[in-house]
Structure 1
Amino acid sequence: MGLLLTFFLLLSFAALLWLLRVLKPNPWPQKSSNLPPGPNPLPVIGNILELGQKPHQSLAKLSKIYGPLMRLKLGSMTTVVVSSPEMAKIVLQKYDQLFSSRTHIDATRVLDHHKHSVAWLPVGNQWRKLRKLCKENMFSVHRLDGSQDLRREKLRNLRDYVKDCCGNGEAVNIGRAAFTTSLNLMTVTLFSKEFASLGSADSSQEFRDIVCGIMSLTCKPNLADYFPLLRLTSDSSTPKNDMLEALLQINQKNESEFSLNDIKHLLLDLFLAGTDTTSSTVEWAMTELLRNPEKMSEAGNELRNVVGQNEEIQESDISRLPYLRAVVKETFRLHPAAPLLIPHKAVGDVEVNGYIVPKNAQILVNVWAMGRDSGVWAKPDVFMPERFLETETDVHGQHFELLPFGGGRRICVGLPLAYRMVHLMLATLISSFDWKLEEGLKPEEVDMDERFGLTLQKAVPLKAVPTQL
């Protein structure tokens, strides 16, 4: 209690100092080490109060004042925020190796997950081994092409579910339906078994609540992240052609090389990355299309002309659907699943654009801010898929103005599967159905508020009523 009381007294004192600074702001003097510019930090807590409930938006506003390479003090942690494609290219490509480590958020330390996770491990032999294993056993073109039938069946289930809702005149909770489909796509790929039913509101909701809770806690400011002294210390069957079977075979060949504990942590990474991010992107895409009926019509007409109104979309069709791909890219631009990516860490002092990024600094790449930068995009706040029809810009980490999956050696290993799943689910929803907002809600009245976490979720779920074409 004494420590807690002391902290809150310090917090109150810092809040008073912050109010005084608001009334009379003064620039943060540059130190001799030539660190990047940034807002003047308060004693003890630094710039924590400036993050607010939506740090990606707060940091975007601050970057307009202090520039695309900005320094903050979050408690005792030095944080450098990257907010432009040019700075992102330097950090994620030119000095990729020097910025390839990870800042370990306290929530990731539960059960030592940070010591086994492909997402949080530093670059090294263990990380390379896990990346290679994922690429060869799950995300290679050969593996993905070989498991198309599994995904096709789950997409057929989604289509049948929407048909049932048409017959009953029921609204579809787009986010929940997309999450359940994503969950089943992942579980049949991993375990040859689906975990939830689209017709049951409860069958996937508990799992979704767990995933969303983990994503929220992982990115929510935690005192132990900013003040390390507060951190607690702690010490059968028929073979199936799925990911688990492949992992178990590798384990049986050499348990010391790849243990059962490694498998558990890897499966957690895959579940978190493969369900919530995909479903939230589909929900945001449907939200934007419902707010822009002419864009919805354009995407639907393309699908019916290329694939056929009553035909199932094949994964090979994605390359023949430029407008659908443009819709997905525009959704990634406005609503990136991970608005600040996963934090990077500098492994040494690095000079970037004339400034020194100090060793062990946390690096946040604000892809949300970059997607809404008027210096990069015309009419950045307007949903305009057409902007991508005449450009080669893609999401594979080579075009730094659009980095929903990150870039460099830490680019999302699951990108090939996520790319297919988002396009397939969105196409399934709009190819054979017309949609309207429930209860006569007007497009301009759709709530667009965001709920911040490691993933950027829609605060108010999207519900829409389908009709069969």
Structure 2
Amino acid sequence: MLLESILSVSLTYKLIAVVVILLVALMIWSIHRPSGMPPGPRGFPIIGSMLSLTENLYLDFLQLAKEYGDIFTIKIGSHHVVIVNNYELIKETLVKKSTDFAGRPQTFTGNMGSEGFKDIILSDYSPSWKLHRKIAHQAIRNYASGDKLENMMRKDAIPLLTQILEDNEGKVIAPRPLLFLTVNNIVAQFCFGQKYTLDDPELKAFMDIIDDFAKIAGNGLVADVIPWTAIFPTSAAREMDKVNNKYLGMIYKKFYEHKQKFDQDNLNDLIDYLLDAQRQAKEENADNISSLTDTHLVQTVSDMFGAGIDTTTHTMDWSIIFLTRYPDVQAKVAREIHDVIGRDRLPLISDRPNLPYCDAVIHELMRIRTVVPMSVPHKALVDSSIGGYVIPKDTWVMVNLWAAQMDEKHWDNPQVFRPERFIDKDGSLKAKQDNFIPFSAGRRVCLGESLAKPEIFLMFTSLYQSFAFSPVPGKELPSLDGNAATLVLRAPEYEVVVKKRI
């Protein structure tokens, strides 16, 4: 009996020792970096360097670049993530090797929001992705390049904004809800042909949903970077699921309303164009019909609506904050608009070449406060390389657009707000600069760029044509510090005094 007890205890200790050795080996393996990859902080077992990162990843990565160089590897949870921090390396990644790095990481949050990666923004590079991007791009071109966008803004969105601002003339206002209303009306008209008023309950619901996404998700949930933790339900995951279902429910409602009254000879918005593509595929018994399910179409609308509102609203937010702090720039903008257009008619897209200073201010705003500073993460689809370093297949790659826009090698005093950097000696807007990439670049360049540019130009010039914004007396100037929750660099809460230009 005694011998059996001794042997039993001995066996137990051996098993414990084996388990401990395996756990130690697992921990060591978890921080091991494959040979040839860029250098970087080793981090802790399992969690990597998660504890040292904030919501403002673009600033965290700039600091790490000072120690490890413009390309480095950081362990975030279970994933080795390569960070690219200058324009030359970003160009190699997104343009020269665009197909190599056209993939997207498949995360817990992404799967939830995209209903199994059936969208455009988060889905992997595939024939299905190319098809939906092509359809959406054509719809944007039809809407933005013709007179639909211009007429809608001149007849509906801008007059509504103008009326509200006139009603508050001389008062202290918080501009963001008004900007959100205006941008929402523009994007909602494009996506599903609907207009809102400031007191519309559905508008308020959309505003709350976007705010809730930012508060709950930040830059993602733990399960996004440590996948096995998804088996443990968390309050954040439950709240995210709840908000996501509410948002998608609203989009599905719009979609099925359109489907009931669809007329192939009368295509007015994005949902109509998507339904027409679905109709054609069914009639032709096309091979791509499996990529044109109702879920795929709703996800495309969801992408265009959600992303289009958030980014443009915050771009306009930053414009008011900066021009309030730089009244000389604001006065020069108004003067150019009045000299070229006058005060009695709203700006047109065709006015853009004749308003180079306004265009330069918009460019400088997009440079100094790039609203998606880290872009959307990429994934290597094949074994490849960046800057001479090995990048194994399936590695996550993040490009720091902020670093490129603030690089002293390409921009003189990049921290200074100076629109003149985009003006040529003859007073015209400089030709496109390759290192100006607020919408990213390559195959995964922002799909909404061709809609956002004319939209922002018309909003910007219409706003400063008629109104002046100034600091609230007795209060500090609006802060220039943002917070990059859900990848979007959000302006802080702020107030200004609005006055009509006479």
Report the TM-score, using the length of structure 2 for normalisation: 0.80
2:329 corresponds, among 285, 290, 295, to 295
1:127-179 CA distances to partner (integer Å, 9 max, x unpaired)?
1111110122223477543442112221222122222221xx33332222111
1:191-247 CA distances to partner (integer Å, 9 max, x unpaired)?
2221x324x39663431221233356555242112211122499x548552222222
1:102-127 CA distances to partner (integer Å, 9 max, x unpaired)?
11332121165352111112221111
Aligned twin of 1:267: 301
Please show how residues 189-338 of structure 1 align to structure 2 within 5 Å: 189-194=190-195, 196-198=196-198, 200=199, 204-215=203-214, 217=216, 220-232=219-231, 236-237=260-261, 239=263, 241-255=268-282, 256-257=289-290, 258-338=292-372
Aligned twin of 2:488: 455
Contact 1:100–1:410 (CA<8 Å) still a contact in 2? yes
Aligned twin of 1:384: 418
1:237-262 CA distances to partner (integer Å, 9 max, x unpaired)?
48552222222233333353522212
Instruction: State the alpha-carbon separation in 1 of the partners of residues 200 and 493 from structure 2.
Output: 17
The CA deviation at 1:372 is 2.0
AA aligned to 2:160 is N
Closer, same or farther: CA 201–65 of 1 in aligned 2, 3 Å: farther
Closer, same or farther: CA 419–459 of 1 in aligned 2, 3 Å: same
Instruction: State the alpha-carbon separation in 1 of the partners of residues 262 and 298 from structure 2.
Output: 21
Instruction: State the alpha-carbon separation in 1 of the partners of residues 396 and 332 from structure 2.
Output: 43
AA aligned to 1:185 is I
AA aligned to 1:149 is N
Contact 1:437–1:465 (CA<8 Å) still a contact in 2? no
AA aligned to 2:488 is T
Closer, same or farther: CA 238–227 of 1 in aligned 2, 3 Å: closer
2:57 corresponds, among 55, 58, 61, to 55
Instruction: State the alpha-carbon separation in 2 of the partners of residues 32 and 76 from structure 1.
Output: 13
1:105 corresponds, among 80, 103, 107, to 107
Alignment pair present for 1:186 and 2:213: no
Contact 2:270–2:301 (CA<8 Å) still a contact in 1? no
Please show how residues 30-109 of structure 1 align to structure 2 within 5 Å: 33-109=35-111
Contact 1:107–1:217 (CA<8 Å) still a contact in 2? no
2:166 corresponds, among 117, 139, 163, to 163
Aligned twin of 1:19: none
Closer, same or farther: CA 353–410 of 1 in aligned 2, 3 Å: same
1:398-419 CA distances to partner (integer Å, 9 max, x unpaired)?
71x2221110011111111101
Which SS does the other structure have where 1:46 is aligned? Answer: coil
Which SS does the other structure have where 1:109 is aligned? Answer: helix
Which SS does the other structure have where 1:364 is aligned? Answer: strand
Instruction: State the alpha-carbon separation in 2 of the partners of residues 254 and 97 from structure 1.
Output: 27
**Count of residues in Structure 1 that have an aligned counterpart in Structure 2:** 430
Instruction: State the alpha-carbon separation in 2 of the partners of residues 101 and 32 from structure 1.
Output: 20
Instruction: State the alpha-carbon separation in 2 of the partners of residues 89 and 326 from structure 1.
Output: 23
Which SS does the other structure have where 1:118 is aligned? Answer: coil
1:41-89 CA distances to partner (integer Å, 9 max, x unpaired)?
2222111122123221111111122111111001110101111001001
Once structures 1 and 2 are overlaid, which stretch shifts more, 368-377 or 53-62? 368-377
Which SS does the other structure have where 2:147 is aligned? Answer: helix
Instruction: State the alpha-carbon separation in 1 of the partners of residues 401 and 217 from structure 2.
Output: 18
Contact 1:82–1:364 (CA<8 Å) still a contact in 2? yes
Percent identical residues: 27
Which SS does the other structure have where 1:254 is aligned? Answer: helix
Aligned twin of 2:255: none
Instruction: State the superposition RMSD in angstroms.
Output: 2.5
Instruction: State the alpha-carbon separation in 2 of the partners of residues 210 and 31 from structure 1.
Output: 39
Aligned twin of 2:387: 353
Which SS does the other structure have where 1:49 is aligned? Answer: helix
Once structures 1 and 2 are overlaid, which stretch shifts more, 170-179 or 123-132? 170-179
Q: Which runs of 5+ in 2 are unaligned?
A: 1-30, 234-259, 283-288
Instruction: State the alpha-carbon separation in 2 of the partners of residues 328 and 118 from structure 1.
Output: 27
Contact 1:83–1:366 (CA<8 Å) still a contact in 2? yes
Instruction: State the alpha-carbon separation in 2 of the partners of residues 217 and 103 from structure 1.
Output: 20
Which SS does the other structure have where 1:163 is aligned? Answer: helix
Instruction: State the alpha-carbon separation in 1 of the partners of residues 144 and 67 from structure 2.
Output: 48
Alignment pair present for 1:125 and 2:152: no
Report the TM-score, using the length of structure 1 for normalisation: 0.85
Instruction: State the alpha-carbon separation in 2 of the partners of residues 218 and 103 from structure 1.
Output: 16
Aligned twin of 1:415: 449
- Give 1 or 2 for the bigger CA radius of gyration: 2
Aligned twin of 2:497: 464
2:136 corresponds, among 129, 134, 137, to 134
Instruction: State the alpha-carbon separation in 2 of the partners of residues 403 and 113 from structure 1.
Output: 30
1:26-48 CA distances to partner (integer Å, 9 max, x unpaired)?
xxx99772211212322221111
Contact 2:58–2:373 (CA<8 Å) still a contact in 1? yes
Closer, same or farther: CA 464–63 of 1 in aligned 2, 3 Å: farther
Instruction: State the alpha-carbon separation in 1 of the partners of residues 277 and 229 from structure 2.
Output: 39
Instruction: State the alpha-carbon separation in 1 of the partners of residues 53 and 452 from structure 2.
Output: 30
AA aligned to 1:426 is F
